[in-house]
Amino acid sequence: MSEPIIKVDQLGKKYFIGHKAESNAIPGGFPTLRDQITGAVNRVKNGTVAALRGEKLSKVSREEFWALKDVSFDIQAGEVLGIIGRNGAGKSTLLKLLSRITTPSTGQIILNGRVASLLEVGTGFHPELTGRENIYLNGAVLGMRRTEIKKKFDEIVAFSEVERFLDTPVKRYSSGMYVRLAFSVAAHLEPDILVVDEVLAVGDAAFQKKCLGKMGDVATQEGRTVLLVSHNMLAVKNLCKRAIWMENGQMKADGAAAKVVSGYLQSSVVDFRARIWDEWRTAPGNDQVRIHRLQVSAVGSTPDSPITMQTPLVIEVEFWNLQPEAHLHITLHLITEDSITAFTTGSDDRTLPRGLYRSVCHIPGNLLNQGNYEVKLLIIKDLSRLIYIHEEALSFEVLDMREQEYGFFEKEDGVVAPLLDWHTECVKQKI
């Protein structure tokens, strides 16, 4: 067998998490400028007094956290590898190490080729440069000559569909435009290894399909290697022959994509019908929004009551808006266990001052088919910029209890099973 294009040996990545006492912020609120100034003065004063007394200064405690541990595998040239797992399993950390964005704590990575990465929205491009300038910048980073980039330039622009905005700074692009250009650049500048994270989730369905087709062409026709992190199990099964399942920073399985995906889906049938984060500083999110509570429940039932096909549902999203004024739009994707989006729904658009908010989505009964569902949460600003995405925000099972009234039913085809009004009447008795 030929030399692998990627060799990973006993790879590990360690971080240290700091812990310190919180300020006296109002519960459910945010620290004021007064809180922060008072806290800073007290820390200086207490430290000075302790030093004069000859006491040791208190230190912030640090917890050791392994995002990846003892990961080893080889990848051959032309192979398409899917990397799957729940949020926090170590998938994105692995890709950052392979892309040399960060360095490993233990082990080694041997790469025998040029790597182009499409990771988080916002990486790889300089926001102040135009789309045109960023194309040439990325080519230069890959070691390509200007003449080589020129040969690919028209293909990149045509694929990305952003020709009208090519001379606009990319900081003014919507997240969808940004991803279209970023993927087009990464795929067309002929890297030996193409690394793609779940960033494609922000694109529209047509462009996602186009990207998946291009990744297939890159591997089969051009003989290049593709590494794909995705929560879309259907895409992984269709595009990849091999998959790695990551769990708690370690490899749970490595093998044929269909088999690994099947095992992952069976293990993932777990209800996460309610999740809460009391402290906004440690809650999921960023410097713009943080999540306080997520919950799906059956109307008129206790939180742990079974959800049936007949049950009306309520999905609640409570979040902290950390911005003075923000035009925010909450979007939910309801996804089946086969990674098919049953439907997408969004909240009304409002300008929200800083504070804690609750958005509620009502789903009528007699709509969903039986099976397991996941909820993906997206928060969009100004109807154009994705500022937060939460994969697998909630998960729940819908049961078919109709046999109690109508007799036994097999699961119906389709992602939904609406109970629609039907009427049959006689048009003519004699034929």
134 and 227 share a domain?
A: yes
pTM over cut 0.75: no
69 and 115 share a domain?
A: yes
Residue 38 is predicted with a pLDDT of 63
Residue 409 is predicted with a pLDDT of 44
199 and 79 share a domain?
A: yes
Residue 28 is predicted with a pLDDT of 45
203 and 185 share a domain?
A: yes
402 and 281 share a domain?
A: yes
Structural domain tally of the chain? 2
225 and 84 share a domain?
A: yes
Ordered DSSP codes for 154-188: HHHHHHHT-GGGTTSBGGGS-HHHHHHHHHHHHHH
| Spatial distance between the Cα atoms of 162 and 151, rounded to a whole number of angstroms | 18
Alpha-carbon separation of residue 287 from 102, 267, 284, 330, 410 (angstroms): 22, 33, 10, 17, 48
- Domain presence at residue 16: no
Q: Which residues of the chain are under the pLDDT cut of 50?
A: 23-24, 26-28, 403-409
Residue 110 is predicted with a pLDDT of 94
What CATH number corresponds to the domain at position 312?
2.70.50.60
Residue 8 is predicted with a pLDDT of 95
280 and 366 share a domain?
A: yes
- Segments forming the whole domain that contains residue 178: 65-267
What CATH number corresponds to the domain at position 181?
3.40.50.300
365 and 323 share a domain?
A: yes
Looking only at the bridges linking them, the beta strands covering 313-336 and 350-363 are antiparallel
- Domain presence at residue 14: no
